[in-house]
Every structure is written in C-alpha cells, then in structure tokens.
C-alpha cells in the first residue's frame, strides 16, 4: 500500500498486572463491534443481525472493534519479549496483508508497535504523559530500543512517532521524543 516511513509507538493502556498477547488482541481488535444504530460490524462488514456473520468461536461471546485485521505489527511484553502480531517482509513497502489498523490515516505507511502496559498499578487512566519507567519495564526499554534501531537500519525513510502525534489519545502515555536522546537517535524522532 505504501512506502514505510513511520514507526509508531503504542501501548495496550493496561495495568502492569494485566496479561496481553496475540489472543487478547484477537478479541479486542477482531471481535464484533455493536454499533450505536443497533447493527454490528465484524471483520469490517456491517450486519443487521450478528447471527448472519460467520463468527470465530472465540468471538461468539466477546465484543471488540470489529476490524478485519490487528492494530499492531508487534507487541513488546513486560519481560522484553517481542511477539510478532502481523508479519512484514523485508522490502520497504507495506502490502495490503501487511497493513494494520493502528491509527486512522497513518496505516498505509506505518509500522505499529505496542508496549504491554501504559497505566500505573491502580489501573486508572493517565491524564498526561509520565516517565517511561513508571509504566513500563527496563526490559521493554531495551527491546524497544533494539527494535527501533533494527527498523531504522532496514528502512531509511522512517521517523519514530507516538500514537498521540496523530490522534487525541495520549497513547503510549509517555513522550516518545524523551527516548530519542537516551537511544542516541534524536534526528529520527518526531
């Protein structure tokens, strides 16, 4: 769909004790959405009656966003493990099947990476960005740094942004640009 020009950092906006993985995202992103007009959206298709949709067994009891694909390419767990959610090949372009729904208007050219977490222990939403290490782990810091450096080495046109740069959401709940100096990559961060 487009030349990869952006690495966008997200968070799952969950407390430190909440476990999130690809299966969780399968429910959150791909389960049917109940619309305000009484219809349902599932896999990007609108239904008047959800019984007409060929639901995955996992989606029969859950509601989500109704998307036809995940919102992220990678998920960085609290132990620093990087889980591939939507694989991409090594060329500089995102094809349709490599595109994710991470941020409206930015998906055709963005690699979307989410850190598990983003809230404090009390699980209350954050009203303003906080220090990275208050809501994420050192292992996630190292994994994110490594991943960003690998992407910058592979794709020369990429800039690093936070989801908040393109939306009203505070996601990933810290100022991504604060990491630029720590990573020694100031010229690649927006």
Q: Mean per-residue pLDDT for 161-168? A: 95
Residue in the block written with tokens 């959206």: 41
In a domain, 54, yes or no: yes
In a domain, 25, yes or no: no
Rounded CA-CA distance 20/18 in Å is 6
In a domain, 173, yes or no: yes
In a domain, 26, yes or no: no
pLDDT digits (tens, 9 = 90+) for 97-148: 999 999 999 999 999 999 999 999 999 888 888 999 999 999 999 999 999 9
In a domain, 119, yes or no: yes
Per the prediction, the chain carries an average pLDDT of 92
How many residues does this entry show for the chain? 190
Rounded CA-CA distance 117/123 in Å is 10
pLDDT digits (tens, 9 = 90+) for 1-20: 689 999 999 999 999 999 99
Give residue 60's pLDDT. 77
DSSP secondary structure string for all residues of 125-160: PPSS---HHHHS-HHHHHHHHHHHHHHHHH-TT-EE
Do 110 and 45 share a domain, yes or no? no
Q: Is the pLDDT of residue 185 over 80?
A: yes
- Report how many domains make up the chain: 2
Range of the domain at 49: 32-65
pLDDT digits (tens, 9 = 90+) for 59-93: 777 888 889 999 999 999 999 999 999 999 989 99
């Amino acid at each position: 769909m487009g030349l990869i020009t952006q690495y966008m950092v997200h968070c799952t906006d969950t407390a430190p004790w909440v476990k999130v993985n690809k299966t969780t995202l399968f429910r959150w992103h791909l389960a049917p959405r109940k619309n305000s007009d009484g219809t349902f959206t599932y896999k990007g298709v609108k239904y008047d009656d959800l019984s007409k949709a060929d639901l995955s067994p996992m989606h029969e009891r859950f509601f989500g966003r109704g998307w036809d694909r995940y919102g992220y390419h990678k998920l960085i767990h609290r132990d620093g493990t990087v889980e591939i959610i939507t694989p991409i090949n090594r060329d500089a372009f995102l094809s349709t099947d490599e595109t994710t729904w991470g941020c409206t208007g930015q998906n055709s050219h963005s690699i979307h990476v989410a850190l598990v977490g983003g809230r404090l222990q009390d699980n209350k939403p954050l009203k303003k960005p906080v220090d990275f290490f208050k809501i994420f782990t050192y292992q996630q810091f190292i994994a994110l740094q490594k991943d960003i450096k690998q992407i910058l080495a592979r794709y020369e046109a990429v800039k690093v942004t936070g989801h908040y740069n393109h939306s009203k959401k505070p996601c990933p709940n810290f100022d991504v640009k604060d990491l630029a100096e720590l990573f020694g990559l100031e010229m690649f961060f927006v």
